[in-house]
Structure 1
Protein backbone atom coordinates (compact mmCIF):
# COMPACT_ATOMS: atom_id res chain seq x y z
CA UNK A 1 0.00 0.00 0.00
CA UNK A 2 3.10 2.20 0.11
CA UNK A 3 2.22 3.66 3.51
CA UNK A 4 5.35 5.00 5.24
CA UNK A 5 6.33 3.27 8.47
CA UNK A 6 6.21 6.65 10.19
CA UNK A 7 2.40 6.54 9.84
CA UNK A 8 2.30 3.35 11.95
CA UNK A 9 1.63 3.82 15.67
CA UNK A 10 2.79 1.30 18.24
CA UNK A 11 0.25 -1.05 19.85
CA UNK A 12 0.89 -2.78 23.16
CA UNK A 13 -2.17 -5.03 23.31
CA UNK A 14 -2.34 -8.35 21.48
CA UNK A 15 -5.36 -9.76 19.70
CA UNK A 16 -6.67 -13.31 19.58
CA UNK A 17 -8.24 -15.62 17.03
CA UNK A 18 -5.62 -15.50 14.28
CA UNK A 19 -3.68 -18.53 15.54
CA UNK A 20 -5.53 -20.99 17.83
CA UNK A 21 -4.21 -20.87 21.40
CA UNK A 22 -1.94 -17.90 20.77
CA UNK A 23 -2.08 -14.16 21.00
CA UNK A 24 -0.56 -12.05 18.22
CA UNK A 25 1.28 -8.78 18.82
CA UNK A 26 0.79 -6.51 15.81
CA UNK A 27 3.62 -4.51 14.25
CA UNK A 28 1.56 -1.38 14.77
CA UNK A 29 -1.63 0.36 13.90
CA UNK A 30 -2.56 2.67 11.01
CA UNK A 31 -5.58 4.86 10.36
CA UNK A 32 -7.16 4.56 6.92
CA UNK A 33 -10.15 6.36 5.45
CA UNK A 34 -12.88 3.88 4.46
CA UNK A 35 -15.86 4.72 2.24
CA UNK A 36 -18.91 2.58 1.51
CA UNK A 37 -21.39 3.43 -1.23
CA UNK A 38 -21.12 5.51 -4.40
CA UNK A 39 -20.93 9.21 -5.30
CA UNK A 40 -24.71 9.66 -4.85
CA UNK A 41 -24.98 7.91 -1.47
CA UNK A 42 -21.92 7.18 0.66
CA UNK A 43 -20.59 7.04 4.21
CA UNK A 44 -16.92 7.66 5.09
CA UNK A 45 -15.04 7.14 8.36
CA UNK A 46 -11.42 6.75 9.45
CA UNK A 47 -10.80 3.26 10.84
CA UNK A 48 -7.77 2.05 12.84
CA UNK A 49 -6.29 -1.19 11.45
CA UNK A 50 -3.70 -3.36 13.21
CA UNK A 51 -0.78 -4.40 10.99
CA UNK A 52 0.48 -8.00 11.23
CA UNK A 53 3.58 -9.63 9.80
CA UNK A 54 2.19 -12.81 8.24
CA UNK A 55 0.20 -13.86 5.21
CA UNK A 56 -3.55 -13.94 5.40
CA UNK A 57 -6.32 -14.62 2.95
CA UNK A 58 -7.80 -11.19 3.69
CA UNK A 59 -6.11 -7.83 3.16
CA UNK A 60 -8.26 -6.19 5.83
CA UNK A 61 -10.72 -7.49 8.39
CA UNK A 62 -13.62 -5.27 9.38
CA UNK A 63 -14.85 -6.13 12.86
CA UNK A 64 -17.05 -4.75 15.59
CA UNK A 65 -15.17 -1.41 15.93
CA UNK A 66 -15.77 -0.72 12.23
CA UNK A 67 -19.44 -1.75 12.43
CA UNK A 68 -19.87 0.50 15.46
CA UNK A 69 -18.25 3.52 13.84
CA UNK A 70 -20.36 3.15 10.68
CA UNK A 71 -23.41 2.11 12.75
CA UNK A 72 -23.61 -0.85 10.36
CA UNK A 73 -25.71 -3.95 10.83
CA UNK A 74 -24.27 -7.21 9.45
CA UNK A 75 -26.64 -10.00 8.48
CA UNK A 76 -24.62 -13.18 8.14
CA UNK A 77 -27.55 -15.24 6.84
CA UNK A 78 -28.03 -13.05 3.77
CA UNK A 79 -24.37 -11.94 3.54
CA UNK A 80 -25.41 -8.27 3.71
CA UNK A 81 -24.09 -5.24 5.56
CA UNK A 82 -26.50 -2.30 6.00
CA UNK A 83 -25.64 1.22 7.13
CA UNK A 84 -27.00 4.72 6.74
CA UNK A 85 -25.63 6.85 3.92
CA UNK A 86 -26.16 10.55 3.25
CA UNK A 87 -29.35 9.94 1.24
CA UNK A 88 -30.51 6.38 1.93
CA UNK A 89 -29.55 2.98 3.34
CA UNK A 90 -26.34 1.52 1.86
CA UNK A 91 -26.40 -2.25 1.39
CA UNK A 92 -23.16 -4.12 0.72
CA UNK A 93 -23.64 -7.74 -0.26
CA UNK A 94 -21.97 -10.86 -1.48
CA UNK A 95 -22.96 -14.26 -2.77
CA UNK A 96 -22.73 -17.67 -1.18
CA UNK A 97 -20.33 -18.82 -3.93
CA UNK A 98 -17.99 -15.86 -3.24
CA UNK A 99 -18.08 -16.54 0.52
CA UNK A 100 -17.25 -20.19 -0.19
CA UNK A 101 -14.30 -19.19 -2.41
CA UNK A 102 -12.95 -16.88 0.34
CA UNK A 103 -13.26 -19.64 2.95
CA UNK A 104 -11.61 -22.14 0.59
CA UNK A 105 -8.73 -19.70 -0.09
CA UNK A 106 -8.30 -19.18 3.67
CA UNK A 107 -8.23 -22.97 4.22
CA UNK A 108 -5.62 -23.47 1.48
CA UNK A 109 -3.41 -20.67 2.83
CA UNK A 110 -3.65 -22.05 6.37
CA UNK A 111 -2.73 -25.54 5.13
CA UNK A 112 0.30 -24.17 3.25
CA UNK A 113 1.47 -22.20 6.31
CA UNK A 114 1.07 -25.21 8.62
CA UNK A 115 3.01 -27.46 6.24
CA UNK A 116 5.77 -24.95 5.51
CA UNK A 117 8.91 -23.73 7.19
CA UNK A 118 7.09 -20.50 8.03
CA UNK A 119 5.18 -22.04 10.96
CA UNK A 120 8.16 -22.20 13.40
CA UNK A 121 8.97 -18.57 12.57
CA UNK A 122 5.32 -17.63 13.08
CA UNK A 123 5.25 -19.44 16.42
CA UNK A 124 8.29 -17.43 17.54
CA UNK A 125 6.49 -14.16 16.77
CA UNK A 126 3.45 -14.95 18.96
CA UNK A 127 3.03 -15.50 22.67
CA UNK A 128 1.28 -18.70 23.67
CA UNK A 129 -1.41 -18.38 26.30
CA UNK A 130 -0.45 -20.32 29.43
CA UNK A 131 -3.26 -22.55 30.74
CA UNK A 132 -3.99 -22.59 34.46
CA UNK A 133 -5.35 -25.45 36.56
CA UNK A 134 -8.99 -24.74 35.60
CA UNK A 135 -8.30 -25.24 31.92
CA UNK A 136 -8.76 -21.51 31.28
CA UNK A 137 -6.02 -19.31 29.95
CA UNK A 138 -4.57 -17.11 32.62
CA UNK A 139 -4.18 -14.26 30.14
CA UNK A 140 -7.88 -14.15 29.26
CA UNK A 141 -9.66 -15.45 32.36
CA UNK A 142 -11.61 -13.23 34.73
CA UNK A 143 -11.23 -13.60 38.46
CA UNK A 144 -13.40 -11.99 41.15
CA UNK A 145 -11.72 -9.17 43.06
CA UNK A 146 -13.78 -9.84 46.16
CA UNK A 147 -15.76 -12.66 47.72
CA UNK A 148 -18.74 -13.88 45.73
CA UNK A 149 -21.99 -15.66 46.50
CA UNK A 150 -23.61 -18.26 44.24
CA UNK A 151 -27.26 -17.45 43.41
CA UNK A 152 -29.68 -19.81 41.66
CA UNK A 153 -31.37 -18.26 38.64
CA UNK A 154 -33.72 -21.12 37.77
CA UNK A 155 -35.73 -22.76 40.59
CA UNK A 156 -36.30 -25.87 38.44
CA UNK A 157 -32.72 -26.37 37.25
CA UNK A 158 -30.41 -25.81 40.23
CA UNK A 159 -27.29 -26.08 38.04
CA UNK A 160 -28.06 -22.68 36.48
CA UNK A 161 -26.34 -20.21 38.78
CA UNK A 162 -24.65 -16.84 38.74
CA UNK A 163 -21.99 -15.41 41.05
CA UNK A 164 -22.45 -11.95 42.51
CA UNK A 165 -20.20 -9.86 44.72
CA UNK A 166 -20.98 -9.98 48.44
CA UNK A 167 -20.12 -6.32 48.92
CA UNK A 168 -22.86 -5.01 46.64
CA UNK A 169 -25.35 -2.57 48.17
CA UNK A 170 -28.76 -4.05 49.05
CA UNK A 171 -30.43 -1.94 46.35
Structure 2
Protein backbone atom coordinates (compact mmCIF):
# COMPACT_ATOMS: atom_id res chain seq x y z
CA UNK A 1 0.00 0.00 0.00
CA UNK A 2 3.03 2.23 0.15
CA UNK A 3 2.47 3.38 3.74
CA UNK A 4 5.66 4.15 5.62
CA UNK A 5 6.41 2.60 9.01
CA UNK A 6 6.54 6.10 10.45
CA UNK A 7 2.72 6.28 10.03
CA UNK A 8 2.20 3.37 12.48
CA UNK A 9 1.44 3.84 16.16
CA UNK A 10 3.32 1.53 18.56
CA UNK A 11 1.47 -1.61 19.62
CA UNK A 12 2.57 -3.87 22.48
CA UNK A 13 0.00 -6.69 22.36
CA UNK A 14 1.07 -9.71 20.29
CA UNK A 15 -1.02 -11.66 17.76
CA UNK A 16 -1.85 -15.30 18.34
CA UNK A 17 -2.85 -17.55 15.47
CA UNK A 18 -1.00 -15.81 12.64
CA UNK A 19 1.71 -18.46 12.73
CA UNK A 20 0.41 -21.68 14.32
CA UNK A 21 1.61 -22.14 17.88
CA UNK A 22 3.63 -18.91 17.84
CA UNK A 23 3.22 -15.38 19.07
CA UNK A 24 3.78 -12.61 16.52
CA UNK A 25 4.57 -9.02 17.44
CA UNK A 26 2.83 -6.49 15.15
CA UNK A 27 4.75 -3.54 13.77
CA UNK A 28 2.04 -1.17 14.99
CA UNK A 29 -1.47 0.20 14.42
CA UNK A 30 -2.86 2.45 11.73
CA UNK A 31 -6.25 4.06 11.10
CA UNK A 32 -7.43 3.72 7.50
CA UNK A 33 -10.68 4.75 5.80
CA UNK A 34 -12.64 1.83 4.37
CA UNK A 35 -15.73 2.01 2.12
CA UNK A 36 -18.43 -0.66 2.29
CA UNK A 37 -21.09 -1.57 -0.30
CA UNK A 38 -21.63 -0.02 -3.74
CA UNK A 39 -20.89 3.48 -5.09
CA UNK A 40 -24.64 4.21 -5.11
CA UNK A 41 -25.14 3.14 -1.49
CA UNK A 42 -21.98 3.14 0.56
CA UNK A 43 -20.72 3.78 4.02
CA UNK A 44 -17.25 5.01 4.90
CA UNK A 45 -15.69 4.02 8.23
CA UNK A 46 -12.25 4.50 9.69
CA UNK A 47 -10.95 1.15 10.96
CA UNK A 48 -7.95 0.42 13.12
CA UNK A 49 -5.62 -2.08 11.49
CA UNK A 50 -2.97 -4.01 13.40
CA UNK A 51 0.24 -4.99 11.87
CA UNK A 52 1.70 -5.07 8.84
CA UNK A 53 1.17 -8.73 8.03
CA UNK A 54 2.28 -10.09 4.71
CA UNK A 55 1.22 -13.54 3.63
CA UNK A 56 3.37 -14.08 0.60
CA UNK A 57 3.38 -16.34 -2.38
CA UNK A 58 -0.24 -17.07 -3.25
CA UNK A 59 -3.81 -17.50 -2.16
CA UNK A 60 -3.15 -21.24 -1.88
CA UNK A 61 -0.26 -20.61 0.52
CA UNK A 62 -2.42 -18.31 2.65
CA UNK A 63 -5.14 -20.99 2.71
CA UNK A 64 -2.62 -23.66 3.77
CA UNK A 65 -1.45 -21.40 6.61
CA UNK A 66 -5.04 -20.92 7.73
CA UNK A 67 -5.76 -24.66 7.64
CA UNK A 68 -2.60 -25.36 9.65
CA UNK A 69 -3.63 -22.76 12.24
CA UNK A 70 -7.12 -24.27 12.58
CA UNK A 71 -5.70 -27.80 12.91
CA UNK A 72 -3.30 -26.60 15.61
CA UNK A 73 -6.13 -24.86 17.50
CA UNK A 74 -8.36 -27.95 17.26
CA UNK A 75 -5.56 -30.22 18.51
CA UNK A 76 -4.94 -27.89 21.43
CA UNK A 77 -8.66 -27.80 22.25
CA UNK A 78 -8.80 -31.62 22.14
CA UNK A 79 -5.80 -31.81 24.51
CA UNK A 80 -7.51 -29.42 26.92
CA UNK A 81 -10.80 -31.34 26.69
CA UNK A 82 -8.99 -34.64 27.32
CA UNK A 83 -7.21 -33.17 30.35
CA UNK A 84 -10.53 -31.89 31.71
CA UNK A 85 -12.16 -35.29 31.15
CA UNK A 86 -9.32 -37.12 32.90
CA UNK A 87 -9.47 -34.67 35.80
CA UNK A 88 -13.23 -35.18 36.07
CA UNK A 89 -12.81 -38.99 35.99
CA UNK A 90 -10.16 -38.79 38.71
CA UNK A 91 -12.47 -36.72 40.89
CA UNK A 92 -15.32 -39.20 40.40
CA UNK A 93 -13.03 -42.14 41.24
CA UNK A 94 -11.87 -40.48 44.46
CA UNK A 95 -15.45 -39.68 45.40
CA UNK A 96 -16.64 -43.23 44.73
CA UNK A 97 -13.84 -44.81 46.84
CA UNK A 98 -14.55 -42.47 49.75
CA UNK A 99 -18.29 -42.95 49.49
CA UNK A 100 -18.04 -46.75 49.90
CA UNK A 101 -15.36 -46.72 52.58
CA UNK A 102 -16.58 -48.53 55.70
CA UNK A 103 -19.54 -50.15 53.95
CA UNK A 104 -17.71 -53.43 53.29
CA UNK A 105 -19.66 -56.46 54.49
CA UNK A 106 -17.87 -59.82 54.75
CA UNK A 107 -19.23 -62.72 52.75
CA UNK A 108 -20.66 -65.81 54.46
CA UNK A 109 -18.39 -68.74 55.24
CA UNK A 110 -15.30 -66.77 56.24
CA UNK A 111 -12.15 -68.84 56.70
CA UNK A 112 -9.58 -67.44 59.08
CA UNK A 113 -6.00 -67.66 57.82
CA UNK A 114 -3.13 -67.00 60.23
CA UNK A 115 -0.56 -64.46 59.10
CA UNK A 116 2.27 -66.30 60.84
CA UNK A 117 2.65 -69.78 59.31
CA UNK A 118 4.27 -71.11 62.52
CA UNK A 119 1.01 -70.55 64.36
CA UNK A 120 -1.49 -73.35 63.98
CA UNK A 121 -4.97 -72.88 62.59
CA UNK A 122 -7.58 -71.82 65.15
Greater share of helix: 2
TM-score, normalised with respect to structure 2: 0.45
Rg (Cα) greater in structure: 2
Greater share of strand: 1
TM-score, normalised with respect to structure 1: 0.33
